[in-house]
Each structure stands twice: as C-alpha cells, then as structure tokens.
Copies of this chain bind each other. A is one copy, B any other.
Amino acid sequence: MAISSRFIVSVHILTLLAQSQGKPVTSEWLAGSASTNPAVIRKLLGMLAKAGLTTSQLGVGGGALLARPASEITLLDVYRAVDEGELFAMHHESPNPACPVGRNIQAAMIGTLEQAQRALEGELAARTLADVLDDVLAGGHPQLQEA
C-alpha cells in the first residue's frame, strides 16, 4: 500500500455526490458512509475544491457538491488532487559521484520511472466518476472494462 487511502476515500465521497444529483451532502453524512471522521472528509473536500472538482455551501441545508458533471471527472483528476508527487522515491543521500554507477544511476532511471508512472496515470485517466457510479449501482464490479 503505497498510494494513500485518501484516493479511494475521495472517489467514495465524490461518487456519493454524483449520486445525490445536485443536492448538497454534509461532511457528517459522507463520513458516515466512509466510516471516518467528518474533519477528515472536510480536509479531503478542501483539496478537491482547490482542484476544482467540488464546491461547498455553508449554512443550513449546505454541504458539498460536484463542480462539474461526473462524466467529466476522471480518476486521474482525483488522484492528482489528493495524492500529489512522484511515485518513485530516489536515494535519501545523493549517490557517490566518484563512482561511475553512482554518478549516473538516477539520470539513467528517470525516463523509465516517469514512463511507468504515466502508464499508471493513463489507466486512471480512462475512467470517470460516472463509470464508477454505474458500477456501484450495478452492485459491485459486474460491469466489465476492456483490457
């Protein structure tokens, strides 16, 4: 487990917002479904709002809303909103530049690592919240996706 649960929890609450059809949903309700704390949800909603995926309404009858249609929000959008950064860590200390391998290993690997990360992100980009909601409403994952 390397990618934090923020991602799946964010997909979870965004799916709930997609299902609510424009009615604001409170962080307390979202927390009840995701089995966590309302403050955790609000922290996630803060990140999602900063990324332009959600908006919020204060006061009575308020709550969170999708900022655009579920079919226009990809899982990559969600991933980038809450789990930023490079996927592969480098050496903590810079390798020894006096060694030919130490001097060049990072530069030699960067291309491959970026390519691998892009491959993962490409899969996430191919799937929208609307797809996820369809699968959830179908009761799980009977909905097959193309290989």
Chain A residues with a Cβ under 8 A of chain B = 1-5, 7-9, 11-12, 15-16, 19, 32-36, 75, 83, 85-96, 99-102, 104-112, 115-117, 119-120, 122-124, 127, 132, 135-141, 143, 145
Chain B nearest CB: distance from A98 CB in Å?
8
Q: Do A5 and B145 contact each other (CB < 8 Å), given the known contacts A19-B101, A123-B116, A135-B108?
A: no
Q: Cβ of A141: which chain B residues have Cβ within 8 Å of it?
A: 107-108, 110-111
- A interface majority secondary structure: helix
- Set B1, B8, B88: member contacting A105, Cβ < 8 A: B8
Instruction: Check B145–A8 contact: CB distance below 8 A.
Output: no
Q: Which residues of B contact A9 (CB under 8 A)?
A: 91
A90 to chain B: which residues have CB within 8 Å? Answer: 1, 5, 8
Most buried by B among A33, A122, A132, A139: A33
| Closest chain B residue to A112, Cβ basis | B127
Complex contacts, A86 vs chain B, CB 8 Å = 1
User: Smallest CB-CB separation from A11: which chain B residue?
Assistant: B109
With CB as the reference atom, state the residue of chain B lying closest to A134. B108
